[in-house]
């Protein structure tokens, strides 16, 4: 019995050393891969020129108490970015199940894309509503945009995909 009881701690010690060494070997290359800089083509700094062309957006969220209207919001928009910081769009949004007074509401505004692919936009809608202020993230090398409305009474997000 004494020999067998000594073997278990010795096997456990050898196994612990082996697993520790294996962990170092496995994590080593991963650490180096993360510190390897990606090429500009892979990550690419963003700018206003990253957004150029037409993007179709799906809009959804909630208008919260404190605003003029309360309830769920769903919509679609087609937004054109000119690559120089200007945008124009048509949107159709349904609030609380009620369609908009006109089929497609026009809007225009400006946007800014930062080198880290974050940015902002302001859309002025031509029906008397206050401007829509957005924070945005550009992903998939400019083929997709994710936004959130910057307003304490609107929990609204959208995803835009570049039209081919």
Which residues are bridge partners to 12 per DSSP?
A: none
- Cβ-based neighbours of 158, under 8 Å, separated by 6 or more: 57, 58, 59, 60, 77, 146, 147
Pair 108, 156 in one domain: yes
The total number of structural domains in the chain stands at 2
Of the candidates 136, 143, 141, the residue with the CA atom closest to the CA atom of residue 109? 136
52 and 31 assigned to the same domain: no
Q: Is the residue at 96 inside a domain?
A: yes
Give the per-residue pLDDT at 9.
39
Residue 25: the pLDDT is 30
Same domain? 16 vs 80: no
Do the domain assignments include residue 42?
Answer: no
Instruction: Please check whether residue 93 is in contact with residue 74, taking contact to mean a CB–CB distance below 8 angstroms.
Output: yes
Please tell me the predicted confidence (pLDDT) of residue 44: 58
For residue 27, what are the domain limits? 2-36
| 47-74 residues labelled b (16+ CB within 10 A) or e (exposed) | bbebbeeebebebebebeeeeeeeeebe
Q: What is the mean pLDDT of each run of 10 residues along the chain (164 residues)?
A: 44 33 34 39 78 98 87 97 98 94 95 98 86 96 97 93 94
Domain membership of residue 11 (yes or no) is: yes
Q: What is the CATH number of the domain that holds 134?
A: 2.40.128.120
Tell me, yes or no, whether 22 lies in a domain.
yes
Check whether residue 16 and residue 95 sit in a common domain. no
Residue 74 shares a structural domain with residue 140? yes
Are 91 and 154 members of one domain? yes
Q: Are residues 11 and 72 in the same domain?
A: no
């Amino acid at each position: 019995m004494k020999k067998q009881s000594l073997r278990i701690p010795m096997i456990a010690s050898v196994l612990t050393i082996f697993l520790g060494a294996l962990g170092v070997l496995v994590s080593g290359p991963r650490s180096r891969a993360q510190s390897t800089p990606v090429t500009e083509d892979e990550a690419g700094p963003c700018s206003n020129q990253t957004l150029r062309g037409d993007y179709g957006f799906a809009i959804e969220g909630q208008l919260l108490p404190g605003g003029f209207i309360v309830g769920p919001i769903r919509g679609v928009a087609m937004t054109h970015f000119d690559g120089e910081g200007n945008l124009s769009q048509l949107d159709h949004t349904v609030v609380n199940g009620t369609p908009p007074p006109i089929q497609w509401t026009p809007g225009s505004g400006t946007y800014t894309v930062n080198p880290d692919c974050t940015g902002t936009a302001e859309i002025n809608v031509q029906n008397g509503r206050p401007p829509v202020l957005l924070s945005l993230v550009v992903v998939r090398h400019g083929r997709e945009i994710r936004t959130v409305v910057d307003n304490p009474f609107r929990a609204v997000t959208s995803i835009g995909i570049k039209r081919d």
